Amino acid sequence: MKGMNPEPVGEQTEPSVPADLRQALAAAPLAEAAWRDLTPISRRDFMSWINEAKQAETRSRRIERCCENLAAGKRRPCCYAVVPMDLYKALGAAPVIDGKGAKAQWSDLTANEKRDFSDWVEAAKERETRKGRIEEACAMLAAGKRSP
């Protein structure tokens, strides 16, 4: 994802804050203080939500909303799903291999492991690449792998 550093499984690295978000936080002292108090994963969720905007206008609105939510004491984006919807649907439809399906394996993952898979899928720039990664993720999970 834009503005994100890959995170090895089990570690919480500090994500790189995009310049436009950094400027908005600097202009809103309450939001900036709340931002500094967030965990790296919480900051990463806000940045993922912002970075998923396809239009500049949507991105700007999300940055503004991020600052408002932080100033109001919220610690996560309001409507951001950690699991991309297409990955979620594929997990439910994936076949069961050796008695345990991809969806059940997904449930056993830690939050960091889930984010690693989600970020890997989200990082695909082309639709076909994304589709292939979703299929591959389901196969890896069904085989018991815990990271892409």
**CA 138 to CA 105: how far, in whole Å?**
9
* DSSP-derived secondary structure for 65-106: HHHHHHHTT--S-TT--SS-HHHHHHHHHSPEETTEEHHHHH
By the 8 A CB rule, do 26 and 70 touch? no
Q: For 95-138, what is each residue's pLDDT tens digit? A: 776 667 888 888 888 877 888 898 899 888 899 999 999 999 99
**CA 29 to CA 33: how far, in whole Å?**
6
Report how far apart, in Å, the C-alpha atoms of 105 and of each of 24, 111, 148 are: 39, 13, 13
Q: For 21-46, what is each residue's pLDDT tens digit? A: 999 999 999 999 999 999 888 888 89
